[in-house]
């Protein structure tokens, strides 16, 4: 059995038609190994993979080292080319007396909860300690707990962000409602069409304040009741207003103490009741 404290591990990553190799001794940090002088060696076919292995083999032997474990991290598009290379004599010769393992890059990304935007280097740095300690139950359990804690922390952070956004959204809604003012002309024109003798109950100063103005509305006192003909015209116009405008008028007085003293005109009772139900 190989002593893992001295074992020489070769990690070969193939992704996006580029091959990158790292050597790792025992539990030390992995080092990137250039291939023909390139950190990322472009591959296009099986021959380019075996050529990369040949350069790696020469480097390992020149240092009087013996390869113990070979790990392949391969993305899905590169898998067919790797399979062709793995069936060649050059490949079989390279792995003589060497244990090896093939792992899907996509599977590793999921296994390590890889997020969008994570760099290939960052993922590799997470994977290598896991690879070389897979038969170390204690180390494997430690890493799993660390990953779970990281995932839990991220979930808590996102939950806190969502809660903050909800509070901010409610605050904005409240501010928007406070800033929203009902058009004065709209009130003066249509309140008499909805309620009998409305301006004897709701004074001009009160209405002005409700509209966000400190200047009293120009409403004569006493305010004369509109004629039947005028009421019919105003009521018809009110019915043709957009629903939002109708709600603005009704909502303004709906929750005022004065509302109990206001008498809805019979012909508008059904519509006003419907609008008040919308606001409840």
Any domain includes 1: no
pTM of model > 0.75: no
Comparing CA positions, the residue from 21, 11, 33, 13 lying closest to residue 106 is 13
Are 99 and 125 part of one and the same domain? yes
Q: Spell out the residues 6+ positions from residue 66 whose beta carbon is closer than 8 angstroms to its own.
A: 8, 60, 97
Are 119 and 157 part of one and the same domain? no
pLDDT, residue 221, reads 65
pLDDT digits (tens, 9 = 90+) for 105-119: 888 888 776 554 445
Element (H, E) at 41: strand 41-42
Are 145 and 49 part of one and the same domain? no
Are 75 and 160 part of one and the same domain? no
Are 79 and 188 part of one and the same domain? no
Are 204 and 268 in contact, with CB atoms under 8 Å apart?
A: no
Are 250 and 271 part of one and the same domain? yes
Segments in the chain below pLDDT 70? 1-5, 113-120, 132-147, 150-151, 171-183, 206, 208, 210-218, 220-222, 279-280
Average pLDDT along the chain: 80
CATH for 87: 3.30.420
Task: For 19, list phi and psi in degrees, rounded to 5.
Answer: -115, 130
CA atoms within 13 A on the CB side of 254: 16
d(CA 246, CA 186): 9
Are 83 and 15 part of one and the same domain? yes
Enclosing domain of residue 223: 184-279
Any domain includes 3: no
Collapsed DSSP state (helix, strand, coil) of residue 155: helix
CA atoms within 13 A on the CB side of 275: 24
Any domain includes 145: yes
Are 119 and 23 part of one and the same domain? yes
Are 234 and 145 part of one and the same domain? no
Comparing CA positions, the residue from 53, 61, 71, 52 lying closest to residue 10 is 71
Any domain includes 2: no
The count of domains in the chain is 3
Any domain includes 240: yes
Q: Which of 156, 178, 200 is at the close of a domain?
A: 178
Are 200 and 273 part of one and the same domain? yes
Are 12 and 113 part of one and the same domain? yes
């Amino acid at each position: 059995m190989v002593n893992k404290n001295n074992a020489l591990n070769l990690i070969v990553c193939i992704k996006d038609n580029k091959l990158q190799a790292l050597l790792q001794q025992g539990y030390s940090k992995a080092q990137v190994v250039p291939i023909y002088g390139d950190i990322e060696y472009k591959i296009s076919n099986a021959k380019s993979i075996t050529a990369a292995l040949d350069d790696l083999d020469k480097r390992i032997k020149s240092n009087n080292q013996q390869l113990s474990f070979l790990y392949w991290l391969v993305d899905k598009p590169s898998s067919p080319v790797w399979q062709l290379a793995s069936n060649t004599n050059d490949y079989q010769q390279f792995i003589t007396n060497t244990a090896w393992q093939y792992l899907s890059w996509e599977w590793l990304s999921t296994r390590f909860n890889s997020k969008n935007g994570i760099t290939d280097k960052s993922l590799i740095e997470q994977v290598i300690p896991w690879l070389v300690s897979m038969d170390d139950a204690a180390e494997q359990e430690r890493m799993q707990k660390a990953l779970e804690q990281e995932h839990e922390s991220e979930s808590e952070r996102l939950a806190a962000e969502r809660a903050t956004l909800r509070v901010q959204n409610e605050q904005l809604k409240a501010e928007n409602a406070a800033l929203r003012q009902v058009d004065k002309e709209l009130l003066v024109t249509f309140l008499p069409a909805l309620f009998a003798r409305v301006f004897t109950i709701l004074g001009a100063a009160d209405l002005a304040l409700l509209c966000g103005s400190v200047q009293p509305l120009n409403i004569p006192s006493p305010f004369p009741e509109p004629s039947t003909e005028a009421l019919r015209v105003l009521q018809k116009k009110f019915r043709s207003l957009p629903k939002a405008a109708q709600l603005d008028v009704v909502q303004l007085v709906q929750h005022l103490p004065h509302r109990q003293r206001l008498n809805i005109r019979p012909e508008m009772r059904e519509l006003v009741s419907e609008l008040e139900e919308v606001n409840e």
